[in-house]
Chains A and B, each alone.
Chain A
Amino acid sequence: EVQLVESGGGLVQPGGSLRLSCAASGFTFSSYEMNWVRQAPGKGLEWVSYISSSGSTIYYADSVKGRFTISRDNAKNSLYLQMNSLRAEDTAVYYCARVDYGGNSTYYYYYMDVWGKGTTVTVSS
C-alpha cells in the first residue's frame, strides 16, 4: 500500500525548534518530488516547501524562508522538515504530499496524489 506517515509534531514555545519526519512506503520514494503543506486551525491549505527527487532543488514559501529547511534521505525513504524560530502563526497540521506528473515533452501537468494524515504543530507559551 502506498503510504506516507508524518511524525514529530508537538507543543513548542515561540522561538523554539522542531523536526518533522515523513516515512514513505509502497512506492519508489527516490523517484518522486515531495512537498510539505500545512493547515492552520480552521483555515485553508498553504504550500510550505518543495524538494526534488534527488534533493538538489528546493523551494520555500516566503512565510517560512530562512526558518525552515526541507531535506530527504532516499536510502531511508524519508522526508524531513526542520523548523526553527517558530512563531504562533506556524501552528498548523503539517502534511507531506507526493507529486506525480504526466504529459509529454512540450507540456507537463502535476498533482499531489498521495498525502499523509498529518502531524500537529502547536507553537505557544
Chain B
Amino acid sequence: AIQLTQSPSSLSASVGDRVTITCRASQGISSALAWYQQKPGKAPKLLIYDASSLESGVPSRFSGSGSGTDFTLTISSLQPEDFATYYCQQFNNYPLLTFGGGTKVEIK
C-alpha cells in the first residue's frame, strides 16, 4: 500500500507568513494527489486536486506543486481563517485511497 508522510506534523506561524507543508509518497504517484483543509468539528474541504489544480472558490494564496513522490502545499500569506489541519491524499491506485497523517497549523 502507498504510504503518505506529511511534514511537519505541526507548525506555528503568524498571520502573513508563508507556510509550506510537505507530503512524501512511498512510491511514485505521478500527480495523483489532493490536499484538504479541516477545521475542528468540521468536515474536510478540498483545496487542491491533481497536485496543483486549485478547487473553485479556494483563495489563490493556496497552491500545490510536485509530482512523483514529493509534493508541497504552500500558503503564500497566512490568514486567520487558515489555521487548521491539512491532509494530503493519494489517488494513484484509486479506488484504494490513502491519507497523510496531517499537519496542524497553529497561531504563533
Enumerate chain A interface residues (CB-CB to B < 8 A): 33, 35, 37, 44-47, 50, 52, 57, 59, 95, 99, 102, 107, 109-113, 115-118
Set of chain B residues within 8 Å of A47, measured between Cβ atoms:
96-99
Q: Which residue of B lies closest to A108 (CB)?
A: B94
B83 contacts A by Cβ under 8 Å: no
Chain B residue, CB-CB nearest to A49: B95
Which of B11-19, B20-28, B42-50, B73-81 faces chain A? B42-50
A4 CB to nearest chain B CB (Å): 9
Among A44, A107, A117, A118, max chain B CB count under 10 A is at A44
Q: How far is the CA of A109 from the CA of B91 in the complex (A)?
A: 7
B46/A112 in contact, CB under 8 A: yes
Q: Which 6 A-B pairs have the closest CB atoms?
A: A111-B49, A50-B95, A115-B43, A109-B50, A47-B97, A110-B91
Are the CB atoms of A45 and B87 closer together than 8 Å? yes
Number of contact residues on B: which range applies? 20 to 34
B64-108 CB contact bits vs A (8 Å, 1 = yes)? 000000000000000000000001010100111111111000000
Q: A37-B99, A59-B96 are in contact. List 12 more A-B contacts (CB 8 A).
A: A33-B95, A35-B95, A35-B97, A37-B44, A44-B100, A44-B101, A45-B44, A45-B102, A46-B99, A109-B50, A110-B32, A111-B46
B98 cross-chain contacts in A, Cβ below 8 A? 47
B103 to chain A, nearest CB (A): 10
Secondary structure of the A contact surface, majority rule:
strand
A43 to chain B, nearest CB (A): 9
Residues of B within 8 A of A59 (CB): 95-96
Q: Are A112 and B34 in contact (CB under 8 A)?
A: yes
B31 located at the interface, meaning its Cβ lies under 8 Å from any Cβ of chain A in the complex: yes
Chain B residue numbers with a CB within 8 Å of A118 are: 43
Chain B residues whose C-beta falls within 8 Å of the C-beta of A115 in the assembled complex? 43-45
Q: Could you pull out 28 A-B pairs where Cβ atoms are within 8 angstroms?
A: A35-B95, A35-B97, A44-B101, A44-B102, A45-B36, A45-B38, A45-B44, A45-B102, A50-B95, A50-B96, A50-B97, A52-B95, A57-B95, A59-B96, A95-B44, A109-B32, A109-B50, A110-B32, A110-B34, A110-B49, A110-B94, A111-B34, A112-B36, A112-B44, A112-B89, A115-B44, A115-B45, A117-B43
